[in-house]
Amino acid sequence: YAYAKRDLRGGEQLDGIGGYTCYGLIENARGPAPNRGLPVCLADGALLQRRVSRDEKILLEDVELSRSGDAWRLYDLASGHGEAVPE
């Protein structure tokens, strides 16, 4: 999941892997997750909706992001929400 590299403010755009706003950590995601973290692969371009402190996990509900593209489609499929669509 994505974690804040520094104190971030609402309205700030995340820059994803290798950027200045967030970093990724591996976490066990089995079972229901009440605090669904933002997968770091989806962070690039996401718009933060609230203040997030340094080293705090960024949640999916904390950001506005595009729900299109290959990364989102694969995440949605892996999380059991989407359907495999033949190309």
Domain ranges across the chain: 1-82
Residue range 66-86: average pLDDT? Answer: 73
Residue 56 pLDDT: 97
Confidence of residue 77 (pLDDT cuts 50, 70, 90): confident
Question: According to the model, what pLDDT value does residue 69 have?
Answer: 81
The architecture in CATH of the region 1-82 reads: Alpha-Beta Complex (3.90)
What own/partner pairs with CB < 8 Å and gap ≥ 24 does 57-66 have? 57/1, 57/2, 57/3, 58/1, 58/2, 58/3, 58/4, 58/14, 58/22, 59/35, 60/36, 61/36, 62/38, 63/14, 63/38, 65/38
Name the pTM for this structure: 0.81
pLDDT digits (tens, 9 = 90+) for 12-67: 999 988 999 999 999 876 666 666 899 999 999 999 999 999 999 999 999 998 87
